[in-house]
Structure 1
Amino acid sequence: MSERPLDLGWIRVFEAVGRLGSLTMAARELGLSQPAVSYTMRMLEEQLGTPLLLRGHRGSTLAPPGQTLYRAAAAAVGELDIAARAIRRMNRRPVVRLFTDYGFASFWMMPRVAAFRRVRPDTEVHVIASASTDPRGDDAEDVAVLFGARTDFPAHATQLLEERVVPVCGPRFAARHQLGTEPGRIGALPLLHLESTPRPRWFGWADWFAANGLARQPSSNDLSLNTYGLVVQAAIADQGVALGWAGLIDGALADGTLVAIGPPLVRADHGYWLRPGPDPSPAACDLIDWIEREMRADRDAADS
């Protein structure tokens, strides 16, 4: 639906001239020619029988009669524009903006968008994936699903997934290297790393080796990648061993694209958290409820 202002004829022209104090600037704003704006003003003055503008070399100012008319015109234009926006919103499909990271967007949300559309066919979901830890802009998100610790989020945020990682690789890679569940064998293999800041928010290989009482120095055969999707693709392509996050790689484990080859590492107070935006719309509340139901269904399926 177009956001073009309603055509209000002379009242739109007069309001712009009075607000901007210039026939030329009003013409530019309205997409009209300067002679067309001048003609409209002359016709209006003829109808009222009095000058509305005091014209000068530096622009035009409102004469007293013009000030009286401008107060009424400005109020009318403002009210009509508000009403037009409200009517357009009524005719527009609800849009919910979900801000999250690339991993959650690629491996959890996008495969399920079609399922949400079946529940709310009248609602559009815009998934805003970013490497940033927080939205930017005044209206960046209606719902955010972000990774971090409990202390990173307000009290009303809901934990969707706890941080649980397990070493994974492709089945052919596991067979070629005769990998079972002995963690010591992993240290001799190429590792796939997700690039992070000096103080990462998620587990890395150093955490996993330390938890299992193992030491392993970075190798020239290791590969660092800047998004989790690339890490998983590299593991599927037999490029090395990756850390697989529960909730993101469940499908790949279920269909055998990836296999787990070591013990998990768990941190219950970290993981993915759902944070509603300020004053969520009914459509945003529906998306929040749906995500939480899907998460509960996933947990029930894993426990059964």
Structure 2
Amino acid sequence: MSERPLDLGWVRVFEAVGRLGSITAAARALGLSQPAVSYVVRELETQLGTPLLVRGHRGSTLSPAGEVLHRAAVAAVAEVDGAARAVRRLSRRPVVRLFTDYGFASFWMMPRVAAFRRVRPETDVHIIASAGADPGLDGAEDVAVLFGAGRDFPPDSVQLFEECIRPVCSPGFAARHGLGGAPARIGNLPLLHLESTPQPRWFGWSDWFAATGLARGPAASDLSLNTYGLVVQAAIADQGVALGWAGLIDGALADGTLVAIGPPLSRAETGYWLAPGSTLSEAARDLIAWILAEARGSVPT
């Protein structure tokens, strides 16, 4: 009898035959024809020179030789399937899920994603943005960057930048209304509002007017919008005066798309906070370290 190595294409077929006790059932489970499975078993028996199945009217059972070979097939299938799963995990690009609101995603994170990809090209960042993102974390994210007060976040959270607002508008709007050196005129102009809950977590126009002592004149076609991106777009489009959050509108101020036209208002206990997830991969730790470094470099002086 030949001692040449067996062709291993039979392993999964024979494992299924022995496990299911039927050539027909094995063929169905594997998506093969019944004659194809029968052929594999006959070829095995020919190569080994002994019956591997005891065939009956109601199916097939393993012969003593078949039992020996089937135990090896079961172990081999389990080992190969486990190795295949490991290989697939190795071949997958690491993914980090970042949960945040539309403002941070649009104005802070998206302009910087390309820079992160340059230093971590093997990592994909999935940004999950929500208009109603609040400090309530559900553990589904790897990293969360959200707006709120420090007390709202876990102890290991880090503040990226504190809340600081100032009125902003387009350069053309400022020129037409003489706002360069006269912020008192803001109260008589259309104001752009970010819609909020009855107890907002961030500053609004009423806070700014109260803090500066300036008067709010008759409402002149104010506009309320439900995302900060729309507020900024409306300001750029000459629709009125918006409140600009430091950290989000820095780029627009730097390139002249928007201009600041009034004094700032800030509070140290609120702002954007980074909250790490409960279990961090190496890729998530890399993203956190990169965001912290970028935020330290972007804080206005």
TM range (shorter): 0.7 to 0.9
Distance 2:20 2:292 in 1: 51
- 1:87-106 deviation line (CA, Å, top 9, x unaligned): 12222333222222111111
Q: Secondary structure at the match of 2:154?
A: coil
Moved more, 105-114 or 157-166: 105-114
Q: 1:246 to 1:73 in 2, by over 3 A?
A: farther
- The number of residues matched between the two structures is 290
> Which structure 2 residue ranges, 5 or more long, are not aligned?
1-7
**CA displacement, residues 112-139 of structure 1 (integer Å, 9 cap, x when unaligned):** 1122222222322222222242699998
Q: Which whole-Å CA distance do the structure 2 matches of 1:40 and 1:217 have between them?
A: 91
- Whole-Å Cα distance in 1 between the matches of residues 148 and 236 of structure 2? 26
Between structure 1 and structure 2, the one with the greater Rg is 2
Query: Contact 2:169–2:242 at 8 Å: present in 1 too?
Result: yes
Distance, in Å, in 2 between the alignment partners of 1:153 and 1:24 is 59
Q: Tell me the SS of whatever aligns to 1:202.
A: coil
When residues 137 and 144 of structure 1 are mapped into structure 2, their CA distance, relative to the original with a 3 A threshold, is closer
CA contact (8 A) 1:13 1:37 kept: no
Letter in 2 for 1:235: A
> 2-side partners of 1:16 and 1:134: how far apart?
52
Percent pairwise identity = 68
Verify the 8 A CA contact 1:23 1:37 in the aligned structure 2. no
Letter in structure 2 aligned against 1:86: A
2:292 maps to amino acid? E
Q: Which moved more, 1:159-168 or 1:224-233?
A: 224-233
Contact 1:45 1:52 in 2 (8 A): no
C-alpha distance in 2 between matches for 1:158 and 1:67: 61
C-alpha distance 280-34 of structure 1, shift in aligned 2 (>3 A): same
- Tell me if structure 1 keeps the 8 A contact 2:14–2:41: no
> 1:121-270, aligned counterparts within 5 Å?
121-133=121-133, 140-180=140-180, 182-214=182-214, 216=216, 219=219, 221-270=221-270
Correspondence 1:281-300 to 2 at 5 A: 281-299=281-299
Secondary structure of residue in 1 paired with 2:197: coil
Give the distance between the partners of 1:133 and 1:218, measured in 2 at CA.
33
Give the partner amino acid of 1:272: Y
Q: 246-255 or 273-282: which moved more? A: 273-282
- Which residue type is aligned with residue 189 of structure 1? L
The separation in 2 between residues aligned to 1:16 and 1:200, in whole angstroms, is: 62
d(CA) in 2 for partners of 1:179 and 1:68?
90
How far apart are 1:44 and its partner, in Å?
Answer: 11
C-alpha contact 2:13 2:37 (8 A) present in aligned 1: no
Distance of 2:43 and 2:218 partners within structure 1 = 79
Superposed CA offset, 1:42-92 (max 9, x none): 879989968799999xxx9x99x9999999877765554343222122223
Structure 1: stretches of 5+ with no match in the other structure: 1-7
Q: Superposition RMSD on alpha carbons, in Å?
A: 4.2
Is the Cα contact below 8 Å between 2:96 and 2:284 reproduced in 1?
A: yes
Give a deviation string over 1:147-201, Cα, whole Å, max 9, x none: 1111111000110011111111111111111114544422211111122233322
Which amino acid is the alignment partner of residue 224 of structure 1?
A: S
Tell me the residue number matched to 1:279: 279
Q: Report the equivalent of 1:3.
A: none
1:239 aligned partner, one-letter code: Q
Letter in 1 for 2:186: I
